[in-house]
Structures are given as C-alpha cells and as structure tokens.
Structure 1
C-alpha cells in the first residue's frame, strides 16, 4: 500500500517536557523523534518524517523563529507531503496559529497541537493529540482550511481558538464560534464549511515593535504617554467591555493614533467589540473618531500579531479591511 507523506516539526513545549531527576520540575527534553515513537499507529497511516526544530517553552518563541519554521513547512509541501503538523507549547499556541494562518498560502493543511500534561505525567495526552493532529492533516476534507489547532479531540480555526484555562485538559476553545470539527472514533468530522481567508505576504522586515496594554480600573497613563517616545510602531489595547477606555486613556489615544496605528480590542475573553452603541468619551464611537480601530472578534493578542505582520509588509493602511474580516 502506497502511504501518503506527512511531515512533523517539534518545537518543544509541555508535550516535550519531563523531569531529569525525580522530584524536579519538568523542562523540554523529549525530541520529535521520541514523541513520534510513542504513537506507533502513525506508521500505518502515513510515511512520516519528523524534525526537532527546537526544544523551547512556547513563551520563548519569537516571530523570527516562527518565520524559519514556516519556511521549513513550505519546503515540506514542495517536497510532496500532503500535510504538516507542528507540536509546541500551549502558552502561545493560539498566537502561533494565527501568525501562520495569515502566511500559509497552501491548500494542504497546517495543523498545530500540544499537550497540557508533560510527557512523564500520568495521563499525558500528547501522543493522542499528535495522532489526532496527524489524522486531521491527512484527511481529504482538511484541504483549503488553512491553519488549525487540534486539542482534546476538537479541531479549531486559528482565527478563533483561545487558551481559556491555565491547566485543564479542555484548555482550548473557540468562544462564540465553537470548534470547526471533531474527531469521532478516529474519523475527522467537520461541522461547517471552510470560511474565506485573508492572506498576507511574508514581512519584508521584522524590526517593528507593537505594544500591548490592558485597561484596568483607575489606571494611570504613564506607560501610555511614553509609547511614542519609546519608539513603538503600533499599539493594541485590551479595553473594557465592548472596547472602552477611561477618559484619560481616550485623550492619550487621540494623540497616539495621529502617529501610529492603534487597535482597541476587548479584554473579556469572548465576543466582539462594538461599533456604534456607546457614545461617551472612551466609548467605541469616541475612540473611532479619535483614530483608533476596533478589533472586532480578534482578541488583543491576535490583533497585535495582525498589526505586526501588516507593518512588516508595509500594508498597515489595510488594517481596517483585515479587522472587518475577523468574523
């Protein structure tokens, strides 16, 4: 039987972690090759090649590193694989997924997965998640769906998935939209048709810096007032409720938005920013008049990634169009 070809890259994260000595905290030590050996069933599904591109906690991944991973993944497609799977830590998995989503211009699937329990912990789900991710990457109905995250038997679109619990096995969900598919008895079952995607070219430069601040009750404006002099090229604010700020922050935003792009998202964890409901100073209507753009359904972290990529390709003037396409 001529099996399809599949490529896996291991970046590190909890799925690769174990303690070197009894009683010690876990660190990334398990290679992709060792992880693959824990899922012998994969050899009956595909001819699999695996590379360990890093052994890092996902908090230490950088945009530049991810661009290298993306280049590797594109090379695998050019060599004839029908899907690519990447394992990494869950702390930044939702951000990595969106980063790749804007840059993945292939019909073949790119699937990300990880684990909430370390490799040596009782009930470690890393091998099961890897097997599920590979099944998704190999499925014919996964084509033209862009980048997806597979965790805990669920398939999530990169645009919507979020880590919504710090330690639970069911840490990943897609608020409002829900998973786009499930794995049922090992079969990939999609719940809805693929949605249109908006791609970006690879960034021409990577030195741009985008700040992210969170609004909070009675917060001062010391950091906000320093954004321009610190040399930031863009700003994202996790605002109250449907995208609201205090009067003091709103006044600062008016000055900043004249110089650099400013996005206001919601800090709530679910739902969209409003567009035309609240007219008080610091409400979304006022902030829009002051030059800020509302993030819609993009959470603050993902809005920052979008802005970084647009700045890197000198297309920040298209920011509103991309934000309007987040649902």
Structure 2
C-alpha cells in the first residue's frame, strides 16, 4: 500500500505534469520514503527541482480558479527562484511560509482535478508544515538562479522579475489591533499579517524577504533599536540579494527614524520608511496602500542613490525634507520646502523632482551620548536653560524665526557653548537659520559669534539626531562644527 509520502508525491507530480505539460517521474531516494511526516510543501520543492531548470518559466502559465491562487503562485515562484542556491532550512521564515501556503493552494486546485483520500492534502496542512523538518541533503541540487522568467499567453507577456525587497516591521499604527483589555489599539500584527493585507504585491513581480524586527509604538523606539536596525539593514544590503528595503513603523517618529537611518546608510539601494495614519480597525485604513507603494518605491531602479525615503499617501519624500504636518490626516506627511520627489501611480514610481542630495555619512555609535533640545518661548527667562549645564553632552536650541532668542538667554548660552557643542536651529521647521542679517543681542549673528553652531535648514529634531550621532561616534567640537557647516552648505 502506498505510504502517505508517496501519495502526496504522486498528487504533487500530477499537478506539475499539468503545469509542465509532460510526465514527471517521482523522486526515489530512500530518504524521501523515510520522511513519513513531511508535508506536501517538501515534495513540492523536490518536484520543482527535478525538471524546473529549463521549464520553470512554464509555471507562469498556470491559471488557478481564483486570483488569490494565481497571485500566491506567482509569489511562490519568485521565492523559489530567489532561494534556488539556499537550503530550505536556511530560508527566511517568510519564504518558507510562502512556499507552504502556495503548496496548500495548489493542492486545493489539484483536489478539484484529481480527488485525493481524506487527510492527504488541505486538512491541517499548515499545522503539519509548521512542524517542518529540514530537506535531506540527498534531495537538493545546486541550481543556477535565472535572471528572469518569461512566458507568452496570446498577446500578453508575463515577466517574473528578480527584484527583491527586504521588509522590516517595527510595529506602530499600521500593525495595531484592538486590545480587549484596554479597548484601545496596540501593536499586534506581524510583518506577514501586514503583507497578507496587500494582495497586489503577489503579482507585482517583486520578491519579499520579511522580518519581524520589533513590535512597538513609534513613540517607544530607542536609539538602541535603530542602531540594531541600521546594522541589520547593512547586513541585508551587503549580502547582495535585495534591491531595496522597506520599514514599517509608527508615524510618531517616522521623520526622525528616516533621518537617522539616512545618516548611517552608505549604500545605493533605497531604504523606504512607511506607516499608517489610520489603524486597521478603522474604515479607510491606509496601511495596505502605503505598504504597497513603499515596496514599489524600494524596488524602483530610479530611486537608487536616493538614500532613505518616506512613502505615504502615494508620495515619496526625502528623509531630509519630510515633515509630519498633521496629527490625524492621511495626508500628514509633506515636504514643505520642496514637495515630494516622486509619486506612485498605476503601480509605478513617477519622478517629479531630482534624486535628493545626501546628508553626511556618520559611523556607528561607539559610546553613549545625551543631547538635549531646548525650545525658546515668549517670556523665557533662561532659568530652565541653566538646568542643562552638566546634564548633557550637547544641546540644540530651537530658536525663534531665523535663529533669535531673548536677550536674557544670551549669557547662559554663551557659557554652555564654551563647554559643550550648542547648535542653533529654528523652531519653525521650514527654512534656514541665517548667519549675517540681524545684529541685536540674541540675534543669529550675535549667537554664532559667541560660539553656537548653525543648523542650516535642519529642523531642531534633525539637528539633535545629527549632533547625537556625531557625539556617539566620539567627535569633538571642531568635528561637530565642520560637519554642520558642510551639511548646511549642501
């Protein structure tokens, strides 16, 4: 009597025979028969490796009974092509789940063509697959990864791209669902959950490498989190098999995350940060559309060299210019000084401006640093400013207008600037700090002459991040001044 493995092999090979329009012989290594509890997904890979080298493109001819089946199948082909030199147990969890899920859908399609005995396919399939055991070495063949697969159906071409995007999820509104205890929303969805809500990605021709990195509100992210994320992104890009990176996170800190990551990002592939203004429980949740646009942007060759970007509302913004300009609007993210550099429409990126100029490249932190942010206000007497003395390694002053403070603050700022770097920014958040226009006590010219460092067109939050990154790398006052001067002149 045939073993369960042999029955599943026969069913899968029947499916592949239909896909490839030829008869496939089942694999016979003894190791296959011993894996009595292996799932159908295992056999799917084995069967694919038997004859797929010259016929993998024909898989694109398969038409399931629904768009979902077809879409999942194309995505699995992309995963398969990307992992052809990689042992199954070394694949990312997301790639494994894609193959498992697709096998399930294909087996359901095969059920309709060739009924199987109860329990052989479909039933508890995903549960069995999660208890996966590695594919035996005897069943693996080193295959050359194709650059593309193309097939023709009448007058229609279907091209399976080899462009790949890594997706890191950090939590945030985009990943929130209702907590039954508190009644409020909290980060709960995984990266796979987020991608499952974007079926259009399955037919985008873009392979996805998915990683759950954190599950936090944007407000709770730390420098340590972002340092670790930057290192993970660098490792992913240096591996050479991704064309861009997408990060999903809470919008509270998106503009700061994007700017900080850009300081540490020295590669050509774009890093795209996205999120959502409406959580998934609300009507018109914008997370899926933003994620879809972000993946398209990360995979687009026209954005190579653009550094870190922010994509929401089908607009692509540079990390240096983007601002969150509204607390609740889905159109909250804007670039007041210049507008977006690109827009996403009809599933492609349309450039509306040049690739943005890059800011300074700063190395990874080697020490702890504390940088304060002091916002000047009407009637400020400077008493709170004195509290910063001895409690920080650097200070950013968010001043009035083009860089002005009340005269009563001048003495305190002069004293601080003689001990630590003090950066002068504008609390407006749009436009530069001037250097040589006003001459009264507390003016920009007066303060710069007393040793403060101009922030140029950096917002107070960006100036703080740059100062923190420099001090955490061990930069002295002269190096800090030179970096800010260079950044302002770019």
Same fold (TM over 0.5): yes
The reply on whether 1:306 has 2:459 as its aligned counterpart is no
CA distance in 2, matches of 1:302, 1:218: 26
| Correspondence for 1:202 among 356, 359, 364 | 364
3-state SS of 2:401 partner: coil
Change (3 A) 1:22 1:60: closer
3-state SS of 2:234 partner: helix
CA distance in 2, matches of 1:250, 1:240: 14
What is residue 88 of structure 2 aligned with on the other side? none
3-state SS of 1:251 partner: helix
| Correspondence for 2:304 among 132, 138, 143 | 143
CA distance in 2, matches of 1:303, 1:321: 14
Residue 264 of structure 1 and its aligned partner are, at CA, apart by: 1.3
Residue 20 of structure 1 and its aligned partner are, at CA, apart by: 2.6
Residue 22 of structure 1 and its aligned partner are, at CA, apart by: 9.7
CA distance in 2, matches of 1:2, 1:171: 33
After superposition, what is the alpha-carbon deviation per residue over 1:166-217, rounded to whole angstroms, capped at 9, x for unaligned?
Answer: 1111111111121111112222112222244221111222x11000010001
What is residue 34 of structure 2 aligned with on the other side? none
**Structure 1 stretch 27-36 or stretch 217-226: which is displaced more?**
217-226
3-state SS of 2:420 partner: coil
CA distance in 1, matches of 2:397, 2:318: 23
CA contact (8 A) 2:340 2:353 kept: no
After superposition, what is the alpha-carbon deviation per residue over 1:271-322, rounded to whole angstroms, capped at 9, x for unaligned?
Answer: 1111111111110000001111121110000000000011111224233343
What is residue 244 of structure 2 aligned with on the other side? 83
Residue 23 of structure 1 and its aligned partner are, at CA, apart by: 8.6
Change (3 A) 1:75 1:43: farther
What is residue 290 of structure 1 aligned with on the other side? 450
| Correspondence for 1:95 among 256, 277, 301 | 256
The reply on whether 1:8 has 2:167 as its aligned counterpart is yes
3-state SS of 1:203 partner: coil
**Structure 1 stretch 42-51 or stretch 158-167: which is displaced more?**
42-51
3-state SS of 1:85 partner: strand
Residue 2 of structure 1 and its aligned partner are, at CA, apart by: 4.7
The reply on whether 1:187 has 2:348 as its aligned counterpart is yes
3-state SS of 2:252 partner: coil
CA contact (8 A) 1:175 1:271 kept: no
After superposition, what is the alpha-carbon deviation per residue over 1:150-169, rounded to whole angstroms, capped at 9, x for unaligned?
Answer: 01111110011111111111
> Pairwise CA RMSD of aligned residues?
1.5
The reply on whether 1:320 has 2:481 as its aligned counterpart is yes
What is residue 279 of structure 2 aligned with on the other side? 118
* 1:249-264 alignment runs, 5 A limit: 249-264=409-424
After superposition, what is the alpha-carbon deviation per residue over 1:221-242, rounded to whole angstroms, capped at 9, x for unaligned?
Answer: 2221121232x10000110111
Q: TM-score, normalized by length of structure 2?
A: 0.64
After superposition, what is the alpha-carbon deviation per residue over 1:64-92, rounded to whole angstroms, capped at 9, x for unaligned?
Answer: 11011111111221331111100000111
| Correspondence for 2:195 among 36, 41, 56 | 36
What is residue 313 of structure 2 aligned with on the other side? 152
CA contact (8 A) 1:246 1:282 kept: yes
After superposition, what is the alpha-carbon deviation per residue over 1:95-122, rounded to whole angstroms, capped at 9, x for unaligned?
Answer: 0001000100110111100000001111
CA contact (8 A) 2:165 2:299 kept: yes
What is residue 385 of structure 2 aligned with on the other side? 224
What is residue 215 of structure 2 aligned with on the other side? 55
CA contact (8 A) 1:225 1:252 kept: yes
Q: TM-score, normalized by length of structure 1?
A: 0.96
Task: Identify unmatched segments of 5+ residues in structure 1.
Answer: none
Change (3 A) 1:273 1:2: closer
CA distance in 1, matches of 2:325, 2:442: 27
The structure with the largest alpha-carbon Rg is 2
**Structure 1 stretch 190-199 or stretch 105-114: which is displaced more?**
190-199
CA contact (8 A) 2:170 2:212 kept: yes
> Which is richer in helix?
2
**Structure 1 stretch 85-94 or stretch 190-199: which is displaced more?**
190-199
Task: Identify unmatched segments of 5+ residues in structure 2.
Answer: 1-159
CA distance in 1, matches of 2:265, 2:455: 22
CA distance in 1, matches of 2:423, 2:196: 45
CA contact (8 A) 2:455 2:463 kept: yes
CA distance in 1, matches of 2:237, 2:369: 29
What is residue 106 of structure 1 aligned with on the other side? 267
Q: Give the 4+ runs in structure 1 shifted more than 6 A.
A: none
CA distance in 2, matches of 1:137, 1:2: 14
CA distance in 1, matches of 2:289, 2:474: 41
